[in-house]
Amino acid sequence: MRISSIRLQNFRGFAACTLSLDRPLTVLVGVNGAGKTSTLDAIVRLLGVTNRVPGRAKRLLVDADIRRDAAGCEIDMVGTTNGATFHTGIQLARGGRQVVNTTLPRRAGAGEADAGSGEADAGSGERLPTALPAAYYPASRMVSDQRYLRAHGAPPSLFGRGLDAIESLDRLSLRANLSFDDFFQWFRLREDLENEQRTRGAPEYEDRPLKAVRDAIERVVPGISRLRVQRLPFRLVALKNGAEYELDQLSDGERGLLAMVGDLAFRLTITHRELPDPLQGEALVLIDEIEQHLHPSWQRLVVNSLLRAFPNCQFIVTTHSPQVLSEVPNDAVLLLDDFQFFRPAAPTQGRDTNSILWEVLGVAARPQAIVKELDEITGLLDDGRHDEARDRLDRLAQSLTERDPEVARLRGLLDLVERIDASDREEA
């Protein structure tokens, strides 16, 4: 599945814009309130068209989504799935009903493409013919821990539900809540199947879906390997640099990245169960604030690690991180400013953090008070007030240290000027 473009008209802060997304990776950058999350939310609303359940009305847009002073809003999306083009669109008049227009290819053998329109809040909510594999990881994503398992053992539902129920396509919510509950149950049942095969004379047997999840986690989460279920007591545990940890003993960054990668791989094993390697499956992945809870060194790794682990997925992510931007292609980056999209005037790939902060994000590399102090010291040197310059530089060096590049530069300049002055006095 690929999204080619989206169009937003009077949606939240957007007046009118069309955004091309026909690439494996799109990185949205902008200050808070510029429209990054609204863009992802629009895509989520449009993807929600494919998940309408029979007999259940589903409101995809509300009046709060309509731009101030506008009579209504409209969003639509064009893309491809299984080699066929699809289109979905939603219109909402203020105080009125939403109208959904769709053109989606049917499943294989189901005939011609389905086209139609209807009012999603009015009644039938007929399920559209194709499920589009997609997942949305919002900035508010939280990872549940295993305190329930520690206190009570396995949840009561663990043994009451089989794989058929857990792996049902109908249960895959677009918005992932990253609870370990379903994942734990699925992992435990698949691991039981794997262990049963091994005890029956195939000691090297690996469950294909389970292997896909393990492989994805090991490729993306640094230092983490061999995820497994501990039985007595019930725990999800993993090796971290050779030592075994329960998942809630890991840091927020480790646990969050592991949960997101595990969830995505889990989804691909369900939506692409026919593939020898489910990680090769196509899906649309939306991630808000991809750098969340990650150390800067991990921020540099995360995007390319995801692209390698899930090579046929389309990623649309938002970030504020210069470390993320320095590792992605220039043509993948889109700036948002006041709900308008722009290409950055300066490149990002391979650039240092300070250059990206200033030239792309518009943020000075230093706090303004420090910049002002450095400028004033430079002014004192220009005016020949060397003693004052040295006193203020000494005070500034106490906080910045002598290793700071600007402190070292001014210190060298001050020493040079004073040597020249001393030489001039000797000659006189």
Residue 124 sits in a domain whose CATH number is 3.40.50.300
Tell me how far apart the alpha carbons of residues 42 and 46 are, in angstroms, rounded to a whole number: 6
Q: 188 to each of 40, 159, 193, 237, how far by Cα in Å? A: 33, 10, 9, 12
Q: Identify whether residues 123 and 153 lie together within a single domain.
A: no
- For residue 281, being part of any structural domain is answered with no
Q: What integer pLDDT is reported at residue 188 of this predicted model?
A: 86
Q: Identify whether residues 117 and 83 lie together within a single domain.
A: yes
Q: Render each residue's pLDDT in the chain as its tens digit; 428 residues.
A: 789 999 999 999 999 999 999 899 999 999 888 899 999 999 999 988 755 544 444 678 999 999 999 999 999 999 987 788 889 999 999 998 889 888 865 544 444 444 455 554 433 333 443 455 888 998 877 665 554 344 444 444 433 445 565 566 555 666 665 556 677 788 888 999 898 999 998 888 999 999 999 999 999 999 999 999 888 777 889 999 889 999 889 998 998 899 899 989 998 998 898 999 999 999 999 999 999 999 999 999 999 999 999 999 999 999 999 999 999 999 999 999 889 999 988 899 999 988 898 888 877 677 888 888 999 999 998 888 999 999 999 999 998 899 888 899 999 988 888 888 777 777 76
Q: Identify whether residues 340 and 377 lie together within a single domain.
A: no
Q: Outline where 318-367 has alpha helix (H).
A: 322-325, 353-359
- For residue 166, being part of any structural domain is answered with yes
Q: Identify whether residues 199 and 90 lie together within a single domain.
A: no
Q: Identify whether residues 48 and 80 lie together within a single domain.
A: yes
Tell me how far apart the alpha carbons of residues 150 and 152 are, in angstroms, rounded to a whole number: 6
- For residue 282, being part of any structural domain is answered with no
Among candidate residues 253, 281, 314, the one where a domain is terminated: 253
- For residue 62, being part of any structural domain is answered with yes
- For residue 59, being part of any structural domain is answered with yes
Q: How many structural domains comprise the chain?
A: 3
Q: Identify whether residues 7 and 109 lie together within a single domain.
A: yes
Among candidate residues 253, 277, 311, the one where a domain is terminated: 253
Q: Identify whether residues 85 and 14 lie together within a single domain.
A: yes
Q: How many C-alpha atoms does 317 have within 13 Å on its Cβ side? A: 25
- For residue 27, being part of any structural domain is answered with yes
Tell me how far apart the alpha carbons of residues 108 and 182 are, in angstroms, rounded to a whole number: 29
Q: What integer pLDDT is reported at residue 128 of this predicted model?
A: 41
- For residue 103, being part of any structural domain is answered with yes
Q: Identify whether residues 95 and 20 lie together within a single domain.
A: yes
Residues 6+ apart with CB under 8 A from 396: 370, 373, 374, 377, 407
Q: What integer pLDDT is reported at residue 167 of this predicted model?
A: 63
Q: Identify whether residues 173 and 234 lie together within a single domain.
A: yes
**Domain interval for residue 383:** 368-427
Identify whether the C-beta of residue 121 lies closer than 8 Å to the C-beta of residue 97: yes
Q: Identify whether residues 372 and 355 lie together within a single domain.
A: no
Q: Identify whether residues 202 and 103 lie together within a single domain.
A: no
Among candidate residues 302, 337, 359, the one where a domain is terminated: 359
